[in-house]
Amino acid sequence: MTGAIEPAIGDPPQAPAVRDRAAGAGVPGPAFAVLGALSLSHLLNDLVQSLLPAIYPLLKTQFRLDFGQIGLITFVFQVTASVLQPVVGIYTDRRPLPFSLAFGMGSSLVGLLLLSVAWAYGLLLLAAGLVGFGSAVFHPEATRVARLASGGRYGLAQSVFQVGGNAGTALGPLLAAFVVVPHGQGSVAWFSLVALAGICVLALVGQWYAGRLRAVPRPATRAGAPAARVLSRRRVGLTIAILLTLIFSKYFYLASFSSYYTFYLIQRFGVSVAQSQIYLFVFLGAVAAGTILGGPIGDRFGRKPVIWGSILGVLPFTLALPHADLVWTVVLTVPIGMILASAMPAILVYAQELLPGRIGLVGGLFFGFAFGMGGLGAAVLGEVADHAGITAVYALCAYLPLIGLAAVFLPRLAR
What CA–CA distance (Å, rounded) separates 306 from 343?
Answer: 6
Instruction: Give the three-state DSSP class for 371.
Output: helix
Note whether residue 157 is domain-resident: yes
What CA–CA distance (Å, rounded) separates 264 from 271?
Answer: 10
Note whether residue 16 is domain-resident: no
> In the chain, what's the furthest Cα-to-Cα distance?
66
Note whether residue 11 is domain-resident: no
What CA–CA distance (Å, rounded) separates 369 from 248?
Answer: 8
Range of the domain at 50: 30-214+232-409
Q: Are 127 and 114 spatial neighbours (Cβ–Cβ below 8 Å)?
A: yes
Instruction: Count the neighbouring beta carbons within 10 Å of the beta carbon of residue 409.
Output: 12
What CA–CA distance (Å, rounded) separates 124 from 144?
Answer: 31
Least confident of 207-216, 223-232, 270-279: 223-232
Instruction: Count the neighbouring beta carbons within 10 Å of the beta carbon of residue 82.
Output: 25
Is pLDDT at 25 greater than 60 in this prediction?
A: no
Distances (CA, A) of 103 to 37, 185, 195: 16, 25, 11
Note whether residue 209 is domain-resident: yes
pLDDT class of 15 with cuts at 50, 70, 90: very low
pLDDT class of 44 with cuts at 50, 70, 90: confident
Length of the chain: 415
What CA–CA distance (Å, rounded) separates 275 from 278?
Answer: 5
Which residue in 219, 222, 217, 202 sits closest to 97, CA to CA? 202
Tell me the whole-structure pTM to 2 decimals.
0.66
| Burial of 287 from C-beta contacts in 10 A (0-12 / 13-18 / 19+) | buried
pLDDT in tens, 323-336: 999 999 999 999 99
Of the ranges 233-237, 286-290, 327-331, the best mean pLDDT one:
327-331
pLDDT class of 415 with cuts at 50, 70, 90: low
Main-chain dihedrals φ then ψ at residue 112, nearest 5 degrees: -65, -45
Q: How many domains does the chain have?
A: 1
Is pLDDT at 219 greater than 50 in this prediction?
A: no
Predicted pLDDT at 414 = 59
Q: Mean of the pLDDT values across residues 170-194?
A: 76
Q: Are 384 and 377 spatial neighbours (Cβ–Cβ below 8 Å)?
A: no
Note whether residue 12 is domain-resident: no
Is pLDDT at 18 greater than 80 in this prediction?
A: no
Note whether residue 65 is domain-resident: yes
Predicted pLDDT at 29 = 59
CATH number of the domain that 107 lies in? 1.20.1250.20
Note whether residue 404 is domain-resident: yes
Note whether residue 96 is domain-resident: yes
